[in-house]
A and B are shown apart, each in its own frame.
Chain A
Amino acid sequence: MQEKTNEMIKIFIDKEPVDAEEGTTVLKAAERAGIHIPHLCYHPAFPPEGSCRMCLVEIEGFPKLELACSTVVKEEMKISTKSERVVEARKAVLEFLLAEHPLDCPICDKAGDCKLQDYYDEYGLFESQFKEAKEKREKKLKIGKSLILDQERCILCTRCVRFLKEVTKTQDLGVFHRGVHSSVNIYEGASVENNYSGNLAEICPVGAITDEDFRFKTRSWFLKEGESICPLCSRGCNILIEYHPGFSRFELPKRVYRIKARENPEVNGFWICDRGRYGYSYLDERRADQIIMNKKEGENELTCENISRHLGEKIKNLSSARKTSGIALILHTWLSNEELFLLHEIFKNDLKVEKIFFADLPDGEADGFLLTSEPSPNRRGAQEIGFDIKTVDLGALADGTDFLLAFGPFLSGLFSSKDLRGALDKIKTKVLFSSNSNELNSLFDVVIPVALIAEKEGSLTNVEGIVQGFQPVLEPPGESLPEWKVLSDLGKELGMDSKFYSEFTSPEAILSEMGKKIPFFKKKND
């Protein structure tokens, strides 16, 4: 697809010539040239509001300072973003904002990633001249299922009001009263209950809207962040995972404290849904971190290192006795494109296994915006690789099966334990790869702990067919390891063509091979 690009014109920012797209604003042109113009009310998702007055710049030929967020660039425009007049105006705006701000940073959740704090650090650092009494307002107003509004910290940028007007169209918040008494408040009887409410705390540039899920749990400066893909539905929203690297003196209850939206105009814009934002407990809770052996497996102790050799031998025995019809597979669509491809190559193409089932969470309801009905991230990928997505049928699964290789913890959500036990008891050898412990652990002979998407490398194909890569953000816990590693080793053990599998030293190598075999996965620019 050829993207339409506007004509480029030349402007000057702080005396440096800069190429700017015709029709763009001063702020965007500066941003593109790597020059940050401070702003609070402006958010790229919305039209310019022009109310905070932080982005004022000096433009040659204009008597007043002009807004960078709304002024459109013109050929040869000469813009100063750091002149004395501009810096003084910024200081003045900060002085005004801070005059009526409670300055309760030590107990504010936003401290550390607050724009007001950052700008004060950059432009302010002045003594407060405000000797009057500050306005008293509501400090702890519950405005939604997990949102708290502090009207005193609010700088009235109205990003939240505009989000609820333009994105969710629910219009739960508004600006009430006038002048210095103006405050953001919830309309009578309303509550921010939509599936995108968490974005409000994220777009609030200060600590006015905070999220109960995060509030008072940690301080933002302890956290590190990494880029990932949300696996909780097939949209594939781009996210940031914020995790605590831990303290040396004492243990923390969890690693992950917050999920944030990461901008991607093609997938999720600036937003993520509340399901994706708040549903991160699986990353830390009930994690499988050690291999579990419920049945003695010969003389050797199984480890994650030798598991593929062990599995290879088992399967080789079956295949030399022409018993591959006794092999069954249960897969799921949290597996990456690369992992599903290896499974497809080994089991479907090489071993001609027919009993391949899928066990995912049951379908939910799409919300008409980002959340899809598919509660896993890679169903489209599995389809494009060539799998027929058949949900597990316990009768067909157990019938004549000697060896079951199952992936994922989701089977337990689909059937009662009694039915599961009944079916699995009929199968002689059962191996499970799972990231999270549940009742399945006792039903399999061996349970191998595996990494989650946040802990490994690979790619996913979203509902619209966009292939997105991801890198590990977190360390896989304990002995757990990514499935692609086990599978590429297993491929080497079993493969008709072990040279083919020996190339697969990384998900990147696998994906590049996939591109040769399946046109869908061919890189667009190759």
Chain B
Amino acid sequence: MKEKVLTEHFGLENLYKIDVYQKQGGYRATEKALKKMKPEEILEEVKKANLRGRGGAGFPAGVKWSFVPDTDKPKYLCVNADEGEPGTFKDRYIMSHNPHMLIEGIIITSFCVGISVAFIYIRGEYEAIALRLEQAISEAYEKGFLGKNILESGFDLDVFVHRGAGAYICGEETALLESLEGKRGNPRLKPPFPASVGLFQCPTVINNVETISNISHIILNGAEWFIKQGLPKDGGTRIFGVSGMVKNPGIYELPLGTSLKDIIFKHAGGMKEGKKLKAVIPGGMSAPILTADEINIKMDFDSLVEANSMLGSAGIIVIDDKTSILDVLKVVTKFYSHESCGQCTPCRIGNSWINKIVKRIAEGKGKKEDIDSILRLASNIEGNTLCPLGDAAAMPILSITKKFRKELESHL
């Protein structure tokens, strides 16, 4: 069992150039898919691989593709490269080190679903990466991997890079579509789901960068191999982004199911000198916090759900004992209050209200009833909002407040 799939060649000089990429076997998957496979076979393979969405929700990619109806309308692929979840920095590595791996995934996915226009919606701050992607795309056009009649298969595909304008909410798939259409990035009411009514009212597949980047490997090596890289219900590896008070912060590609303790203490080198572990946010800031006692846990979708948290974007934020949990809560509540689109009532006002309370506590003006108020308000947001941002805010707020109630009360 080899450990690295996506990051295998990272560090190789000029990997982002198509010639170097091809020397490592790049675009062989594309050739195989377009010349030797039928779209149905690709779909079957991806379904069998149990490739779950790497954006955060963990929805099986193959199942998502199969929801696209058979219509005469154009269909679109949108690659979600908005990577806005605090603590998450894996997609930027993929796109800057190995953009062609993503492009290959886009080609195969589009061929499979019957898509001839694909968009990469990239976080606005990733300007240099967007330029690198543009460059890689034009190389792919030159070599005939994009454009008309790709590899003489009769399949056409155009890929466009679209830069976002800095809103976290545009990482939510329907807000992303609105933004891509040139509108204010507000999430849409679901149903209808994007697979049937998406970009410009047409069927649309939306997948995360890391998800799509896995496709070429599944095609080349098969679903069985892919499952072996991870878990039966959760195929492949995961790129864990470790940040915070560890010796070696960075990205670590590891099999799904690797223990959180090992990631922190083995792979990331343990805590920085003189620091003790206090808590971990295991899957991007929206994931409920784990205390130092709770890190003996396998990092896969189902194990984390069992532990009342979530794998999310696999961005691991390590918090040490010198960090005040009130400061953590302040950062969390400020972020969601700032990033709420403002469309629906509980998220718009609830997050701002909670943030106002936390700021007041930090100013030394906390009241006895404040902790209960935070819990009550966050519960009233959870499950009652138009899009997942409400839950994404309520989950960390509730878990931090419940698990560190004593420490928070010491500030009152």
* Contact surface of A with B, Cβ cutoff 8 Å: 48-54, 56, 64-65, 67, 70, 89, 92-93, 95-97, 99-100, 129-133, 135, 155-156, 174-175, 177-182
Contact = CB atoms under 8 A, between A and B. Distances in A.
A53 B344 contact: yes
Q: Which 4 pairs between the two chains have the least Cβ-Cβ distance?
A: A182-B342, A180-B352, A92-B380, A132-B356
A48 B356 CA distance: 31
B385 A53 contact: yes
A308 to B, nearest CB: 63
Given A51-B345, A132-B353, A156-B348, A180 B384 contact: no
A96 B349 contact: yes
Interface stretch (B41-49, B200-208, B302-310, B332-340): B332-340
B344 A175 contact: no
A288 to B, nearest CB: 53
A486 B61 CA distance: 80
Contacts of A53: 344-346, 384-386
Nearest to A53: B345
A65 B338 contact: no
B9 interface: no
Contacts of B339: 178-179
Contacts of B367: 131
A62 to B, nearest CB: 11
Interface string B349-387: 111110011001000000101000100000010011110
B351 A179 contact: yes
Contact of B384 (A65, A132, A156): A65
A2 to B, nearest CB: 31
Nearest to A155: B345
B297 interface: no
Given A96-B353, A178-B340, A56 B345 contact: no
Nearest to A70: B189
A426 to B, nearest CB: 69
Given A92-B384, A97-B349, A180-B348, 12 more contacts: A48-B189, A51-B386, A54-B345, A96-B349, A96-B380, A130-B353, A131-B367, A132-B353, A178-B338, A179-B339, A179-B342, A180-B337
Max chain B C-beta neighbours (<10 A), residue from A52, A53, A135, A177: A53
Contacts of A178: 167, 338-342
A92 B345 CA distance: 10
Interface string B73-92: 00000000000000000000
Nearest to A134: B356
A48 B344 CA distance: 13
A57 to B, nearest CB: 12
A520 to B, nearest CB: 44
A96 B346 contact: yes
Contacts of A93: 345-346, 384
Contacts of B350: 96
A179 B189 contact: no
Contact of B380 (A67, A95, A177, A179): A95
Contacts of B386: 50-51, 53
A93 B383 CA distance: 12
Given A97-B349, A133-B356, A51 B373 contact: no
15 contacts: A48-B189, A50-B386, A93-B345, A93-B384, A97-B349, A100-B349, A129-B373, A132-B353, A132-B356, A175-B342, A178-B338, A178-B341, A178-B342, A179-B352, A182-B342
B340 A180 contact: yes
Contacts, number: 96
B343 interface: yes
Contacts of A70: 189
Contacts of B357: 131-132
A96 B345 contact: yes
Interface in B286-338: 337-338
Nearest to B189: A50
B184 interface: yes
Contacts of A96: 345-346, 348-350, 353, 380
Given A53-B385, A56-B384, A175-B184, A99 B349 contact: yes
Given A133-B356, A178-B167, A52 B345 contact: yes
Contacts of A54: 345
A44 B353 CA distance: 31
Contact of A179 (B340, B356, B383, B385): B340
B373 to A, nearest CB: 6
A52 B360 CA distance: 28
A53 B350 CA distance: 13
A132 B352 CA distance: 10
Given A97-B349, A100-B349, A133-B356, A181 B342 contact: yes
Contacts of B356: 132-133
Nearest to A178: B342
A110 B184 CA distance: 30
A53 B384 CA distance: 7
Given A51-B343, A129-B373, A89 B384 contact: yes
B183 to A, nearest CB: 10
A337 to B, nearest CB: 46
B287 to A, nearest CB: 19
A363 to B, nearest CB: 41
A179 B384 contact: no
Max chain B C-beta neighbours (<10 A), residue from A96, A135, A177, A181: A96
A97 B348 CA distance: 9
B342 A177 contact: yes
B133 to A, nearest CB: 27
A97 B343 CA distance: 12
Nearest to B382: A64
A182 B348 contact: yes
B349 A52 contact: no
B364 to A, nearest CB: 15
Contacts of B346: 53, 92-93, 96
Contacts of A56: 384
A48 B353 CA distance: 27
